[in-house]
Each structure stands twice: as C-alpha cells, then as structure tokens.
Chains A and B, each alone.
Chain A
Amino acid sequence: MIDSVIDFLAPYTFLIVGAVKAVIIAIGLLSSVPLLVWLERRLMGRFQVRLGPNRVGPFGLGQPFADSLKLLFKESIVQNSADKFLFYLAPAVVVFTAIVTFSLIPFGKPFEIFDQKIGMWVANVNVGILFVFAISSMGIYGIVLAGLSSNNKYSLMGGLRSSAQMISYELTLGLAALGVIMITGSLNLQEIVDAQKTVPNILLQPLAFVLFYIAGVAETNRAPFDLPEAEQELVAGFHTEYSGMKFAMFFMGEYINMITMSALITLLFLGGWHSYIIPVPDLLFIGPLLVFSVKVFILLCILIWLRSTFPRIRYDRLMTFGWKILVPLAMLNLMVTSVFIVIF
C-alpha cells in the first residue's frame, strides 16, 4: 500500500519539495516581520537615548504581537469615493510581490537528506537577478494603485512621488548590479555566490556596493528616502486612507522588502554564505545558513541605523541626486569594470 503510494508520488517529488519550501518561506517571512518591527523600535529607542517598547513580555517582545492583534481586529474603513476593487488590490500586490521576490533568494549551500538533494531556495532561476528586478518593479504598482484608488490628493501625490523615485533608483540598482554580473559572467544568484569563494565582490566593486546600497535604501522607501510618506507634507502619503489590516499589509511589504534587499546585497557583494575570516563548519545546512543570516542581520541593523541618523532629503534634491550623481557614477563604474575585464 505505502510502496504503491510512494511509487505513484515519485515523479512528483520536485513538486512536493517545492510546495513545502514555498510554505516554509512564506510563513517564515511573514512571522519575521513582527520581530523586525520590534528590533527596529528597540534599536531606534537606543539610538535616540530612550528605552523603546519594554513593557509587554520580556524585552518588550510581546509588543509586536499585541500590535498585530490590534491591527487585525481594527475596523477596516473604505471611503465611498474610493475605487473599491483597486483599493483592495493594492496592499495585496505589495505583499505578494514582496514574498515572490524573496522566493528567488538562495540562502545556503544545497545539502543532501534522505537521498534527496535539497537546495536552500524556492526557485533557482537561470536569470535569477533579472527576475528579482522584474518582480520588484511590479511592486511599484501596489503603491501607485493605492495612491490612485484612494481618491485623495495626498495619496495621489504620495503614489506619484514614490513611483518616480522607484523608477529613478531602479536604474542605479540595475547598473550597479551589472558590474557584479560582468565579473561573474552569470545572472544566476547561486553562481554569483560561488564565484566569491575566496574574495567577496565588495573588495572588487566597492563603488558598486555603495551605489547599490544607497539605491536599495531608496528602492525600499526607507528613511532618508521615505518621501512617499513624508508626514509633514503628505499626511501619510499613499496609505493615508488605509486602516486596520490593509494598512499593516503595506508595512509587511516594506519590511519584507528590507529583508530581501539585505539578502540581495549579501549575495551580490558580501559573498553570501561563505565565511572569510572565521571558518564555519557545514553541519548539514546550519553553518552556511548561520553565516548568511548574520550578514543579513547586520545589514538590517545598518538600515535601521540610517533611518535614525539622517534627516529626510528634499524631493528635488532626491531626484537630482539620483539622476545627476548616482546614475553617472554607476555608468562610470560599469565602464571601468568592462575595461578591466577586457585587459585582464
């Protein structure tokens, strides 16, 4: 009986493994969002010489759960003038694209268990990094649609600003990543990591790293580039009219994007799961996963540090900075890299 079931399922093993991996990633990501919110609030508290949330549970760890419960049970208000369908669609697009983007991130060496070779990723696509950019550019629509469907001028301005900003900085992001792609000669994220076994790309492409980091911060709409939700001018930007869980979904999208961007920087520039100075044993999959997680964690902390350090940039300065400084620098980096590749 069991043998026949196993025989029947054998050709579909890849489907079962894939589904299990997808579920693990989706649940893991969604449950890491409250923890990240907690981390941000605690660290922000420290940076600003105050305590941060510390009343609910040990170290205030209960706070994010209390907050999410509150948001879940909050009344969801949809104003009459809104375009209902698009109003509901927008937060879903944001969260969906954020999770799908992360599914393309490999976060460890493939390992073998029960004669099954299991890779630490949901999908290993040949054009991996392009796919990441494609799906994350779909994420803009969530914000644009939220701005459009709310029927509110602050939302509209927020949506307009954010789409302009994301389009501008996507260019820098792509050009900076191209330097790494040219060195490796592959678009596959796993091969890019494998090529950094001895030297991480940050030493070969320091300028590209800086550009990618700045553009990445802008791309995730984080301070100092959080113009779309500049509260002094725009109330809350594109999510002014959203309340309850739909409002929380925009935040979920933003925090998942933060994790994805940190993971992408780790893969492209910091050597992914390779550890350089301290040797780390493999231990099935725990060693590489630990190295990768530590790198991502440090990058996340730097993102939070940036937010509490820098004031928001003025909007015209943001555009000038993007188009007149970052893009030419990225092109220069690309040219220098290609000259070096041709010579050596």
Chain B
Amino acid sequence: MELLIFYPIAALAVVLALFVVFNKSPIGSAVSLIGLMLCLAGVFIGLSAHFVAILQVIIYAGAIMVLFMFVIMLLNLKDDDNVIWKSREGNTLLTVLTGFLVLGILYKIISITLSADSSKPAKIMESFGTTAEVGKSLFTTYVLPFEVASILLLVAMVGALVLAKTKID
C-alpha cells in the first residue's frame, strides 16, 4: 500500500528534477522545482514524518520558491534561444570537484541503504514525526547543529543587507 503511493510520487519527482535541469525557460524550471518540492513532501508523509513534510511545503515550496519567482519576475527573464550557457575555464576544476562530492554522497547513501536489514524494519514509535517529538530532538540532541545553521542564515541575511545598503547609498 505504501509502495503504491511511493512509486508514482518518486517517479514524478525524478521527472520533475530532470525538467528543472533541461527546461529552457526559467519560469518552467522554477515551476518544476516547486512540483519537485511538493513530491518530496509527499515522500516525507509516506515516511510518517508529517511535521517535516509541512515544513518542506512551507519553507521550500512556499517561501524559497516565491523568492525565485520574484527574481524571475523582477529581471523579466524569458526563454531565449540565443543564450548559450558556457562553462567558464576556471569552473572546470570546481565542476569536477563538485561531481566527486555528489558521487561520494550518493555512494555513502547507497551503501547505508544496502547494508540495512530490510527483513526486520525498525519499529516506528507512536509519537514519531509529531511536532512535539521533532521540537524536542531539535532542542536537545541536535541543538548545536540547529543553532549553527540559524547563525549561518543570520550571517547570510546581514550580508545581503550590507551589500544592498552600499549600493543604495
């Protein structure tokens, strides 16, 4: 039953992810990305992590993608066949490094998944994925990563403000 829901959503997610990369118009890419985020939220619901699914919709599909749309609207980007994306010379090294990084992460994920014993799935607690549980683990076990991430976001926000301010003055 769960697989019946999981496979269509996962397949749709993969197709939409490909659309994001191969779509020529920026609006199309952005819309596909929104769809992809919603599919991921669906996968989270399938894993009975309801709160995380809602956060996925509110933060990624809602807040962040609206900003993407904003940029597209303000710059009035159109799909233009004349624009050919060229990778700059200096980027080659960076591209290769990023490629290796992604490969490494994928390898790790696949090896963890394969090594797990799928015949005895772990028991899911009754309270798993509820708001209270997620909040508790965020403020006890994972309090340091949580605070570090929030400081990182604050720094980014201050940085953006400083950059914009100097331009205006």
The count of chain B contact residues (Cβ–Cβ below 8 Å) is 24
Residues of B within 8 Å of A167, CB to CB, are 63, 66
Interface membership of B31, Cβ < 8 A: yes
Interface membership of B98, Cβ < 8 A: no
Residues of B within 8 Å of A305, CB to CB, are none
Residues of B within 8 Å of A138, CB to CB, are 38, 57, 61-62
Query: With A145-B31, A156-B73 as given contacts, are A127 and B62 in contact (CB-CB < 8 Å)?
Result: no
A167 CA to B64 CA in the complex, in Å? 11
Say how far B14's CB is from chain A's closest CB, in angstroms: 20
Interface range on chain A: under 10, 10 to 19, 20 to 34, or 35 or more? 20 to 34
Is the CB–CB distance between A131 and B73 below 8 Å? no
Is the CB–CB distance between A144 and B131 below 8 Å? no
Query: With A83-B27, A86-B27, A140-B66 as given contacts, are A160 and B57 in contact (CB-CB < 8 Å)?
Result: no
Residues of A within 8 Å of B57, CB to CB, are 134-135, 137-138
Interface centre among A86, A133, A148, A149, by most B CB within 10 Å?
A: A148
A144 CA to B31 CA in the complex, in Å? 11
Residues of A within 8 Å of B50, CB to CB, are 125-127
Interface membership of B51, Cβ < 8 A: yes
Residues of A within 8 Å of B130, CB to CB, are 126
Say how far B80's CB is from chain A's closest CB, in angstroms: 14
Interface membership of A180, Cβ < 8 A: no
Render A157-187 as a binary contact track against B, CB cut-off 8 A, 1 for contact: 0011001100100000000000000000001
Is the CB–CB distance between B69 and A144 below 8 Å? yes
Is the CB–CB distance between A137 and B27 below 8 Å? no
Query: With A138-B57, A144-B66 as given contacts, are A127 and B31 in contact (CB-CB < 8 Å)?
Result: no
A131 CA to B51 CA in the complex, in Å? 9
How many pairs of A and B residues are in contact by the CB < 8 Å rule? 65
Which residues, 44 to 98 on A, are CB-close (under 8 Å) to B? 83, 86, 89
Is the CB–CB distance between A147 and B73 below 8 Å? yes
Is the CB–CB distance between A127 and B58 below 8 Å? no
A245 CA to B99 CA in the complex, in Å? 48
Cβ-neighbour of A159 out of B31, B63, B65, B73 (below 8 A):
B73
Is the CB–CB distance between A156 and B76 below 8 Å? yes
Chain B interface helix/strand/loop/mixed: helix
A217 CA to B54 CA in the complex, in Å? 24
Say how far B52's CB is from chain A's closest CB, in angstroms: 10
Query: With A148-B69, A163-B69, A163-B70 as given contacts, are A130 and B76 in contact (CB-CB < 8 Å)?
Result: no
Is the CB–CB distance between A160 and B51 below 8 Å? no
Interface membership of A141, Cβ < 8 A: yes
Identity of the chain B residue whose Cβ is nearest the Cβ of A140 in the assembled complex: B66
Is the CB–CB distance between B70 and A160 below 8 Å? yes
Is the CB–CB distance between B70 and A130 below 8 Å? no
Say how far B108's CB is from chain A's closest CB, in angstroms: 31
Render B37-81 as a binary contact track against A, CB cut-off 8 A, 1 for contact: 010000000000011001001100111011001101110100000
Interface membership of B36, Cβ < 8 A: no
Interface centre among A134, A135, A140, A167, by most B CB within 10 Å?
A: A134
A148 CA to B66 CA in the complex, in Å? 12
Is the CB–CB distance between A160 and B73 below 8 Å? yes
Interface centre among A137, A147, A167, by most B CB within 10 Å?
A: A137
A50 CA to B133 CA in the complex, in Å? 58
Is the CB–CB distance between A148 and B58 below 8 Å? no
A81 CA to B73 CA in the complex, in Å? 16
Query: With A126-B50, A127-B50 as given contacts, are A133 and B58 in contact (CB-CB < 8 Å)?
Result: yes
A145 CA to B62 CA in the complex, in Å? 14
Is the CB–CB distance between A141 and B34 below 8 Å? yes
Residues of B within 8 Å of A131, CB to CB, are 54
A86 CA to B27 CA in the complex, in Å? 9
Residues of B within 8 Å of A134, CB to CB, are 54, 57-58, 62
- Give chain A's interface residues, CB within 8 Å of chain B: 83, 86, 89, 125-127, 130-131, 133-135, 137-138, 140-141, 144-145, 147-149, 156, 159-160, 163-164, 167, 187
- Give chain B's interface residues, CB within 8 Å of chain A: 25, 27-28, 31, 34, 38, 50-51, 54, 57-58, 61-63, 65-66, 69-70, 72-74, 76, 130-131
Identify the 5 closest CB pairs spanning chains A and B, nearest first. A137-B62, A134-B57, A134-B58, A130-B54, A144-B69
